[in-house]
Amino acid sequence: MATNLKDLSNEQLMQNLQERERALVGMRFRLSMNQLENTATIRTVRKDIARIKTEARRREVEGGLAKDGLASGTKLVSSAPAAAPVAAERGGFLKGIVDKLTGKE
């Protein structure tokens, strides 16, 4: 992970967490289909997720928030452009699975 997590805002931190979790689900799916070439990336992404969650919890404790209070208090911005709602609806099979597993529905 190239960026320093302490320098990110709460929204950026939660967005980064969401992206990493989505990438992890995609990697696990590709692994099950024998399409993932470098399996070590799964471990790296898992560790990145742990680092992000640790930083989020540290901020919650400092701010006196309840557990997972940081995630519920931030507004996540969709990475899809606002002018393309049709493309968001046609995300494909893998996007639907990722959304269900990450609770984005």
The answer for residues whose C-beta is within 8 angstroms of residue 23's C-beta and 6 or more apart is: 45
pLDDT digits (tens, 9 = 90+) for 41-100: 999 999 999 999 999 999 999 988 888 888 777 765 444 444 444 444 556 667 777 776
Place of tokens 């899809």: 80
At residue 34, does pLDDT exceed 60?
Answer: yes
Query: How much is the pLDDT for 105?
Result: 56
Could you tell me if 88 and 80 are in contact, meaning their C-beta atoms sit under 8 angstroms apart?
yes
Count of CA atoms in the C-beta half-sphere (13 A) of 90: 3
Kindly list the domain boundaries of the chain, sorted by start residue: 5-100
